[in-house]
Structure 1
Amino acid sequence: MALRSTVYKADIHIADNDRAYYGSHAVTVARHPSETDERLMVRLLAFALQADAEDRLAFTRGLSEADEPDLWRHDLTGAIELWVETGLPDERRLLKACGRAQQVIVYAYGRNAELWWAGIRNKLTRTRNLTVYGLPADATQALAGLAERGMSLNVNVQDASAWISGDAGEASVDIARWMPESR
């Protein structure tokens, strides 16, 4: 018998000073049986970092569907404007995504994220619509501690750092831009 996904509901209140975006979103996200709290919370953080007033950013079937990212935004014609991956995807997946979407963003996390980036970065130099961010492992593990089936999260972003607070505590995540390289 297959295990079912667990449904999480989150009210996310965003104050993103870097993008001058301030808004609230009620989201429902399914956690795949093989997914960790850390990955779930990184997906919610990615949502908060990419949300906008148009409210077209959507969670996909994620791990259940190999041809979909964790998040995406379509334009009114159905074309993919934004493709957001979390974790450590391989270069073939990213190159394919860059061909399908106007903009591709990766939020890399985990103990091996820097090693993954060192091995993949040269294979992605020809992409023009790819942005890669690195999230520190200790910060994303602290973020995992905020996971609850029903949660209210406050996300404050300033100077490439996100401070997330909820009923279960708080976490701070520094967001390092790996590609294109900061000047």
Structure 2
Amino acid sequence: MTPSRFSLICMKAILLNSLLFGTAFAGFFGSDDKGKSGLDFNGGYDINTVTTMSGRVISLPHPGENENTIMEVKSGNELLNICLGPGSYWDKNGIAINVNDDLSVKGSKAQGQDGKSYVLAQKLVNKTTGAQVDLRNDKGEPAWSVRNTSRTRMESPAGGMRNQGGGMMRSGGGGMMRR
């Protein structure tokens, strides 16, 4: 194989990889999304990066990219962009937050392509007022997701859990489709 053919194959592999994996190589080839995080705020929750941190609010919740609500929190020497979910969901289900409130945030931490630190919030507690909100379940599924809201779980009178949304039910490792 000639060196020029090898180089051509490598460039094709890199281009194909960038197309398959979204914006992973956008910075290498140049990008129209300058200033954007490059993060998937709905599906990008990584349970392997979940952490809990505390900090002080330095900007109130405001519209961010892709219709998500974001606020900035100063935690130690770090500035964190807390992703609170879609604006329509936050407006209905969010808690009161003021500048200088002390917060505790549990969520998936990620570094954006813009160099900023983001936390996709799972649980938010305003330690100043005592108010709290759960924005995602333990698996990271957003509360505003159709999949999450269709699986409302309630405790049955006999104890245990029962699935109210239909679909798959598992008991003893097996499963069957309910119609």
Higher gyration radius (CA): 2
When the two structures are superposed, what TM-score results if normalisation uses the length of structure 1?
0.26
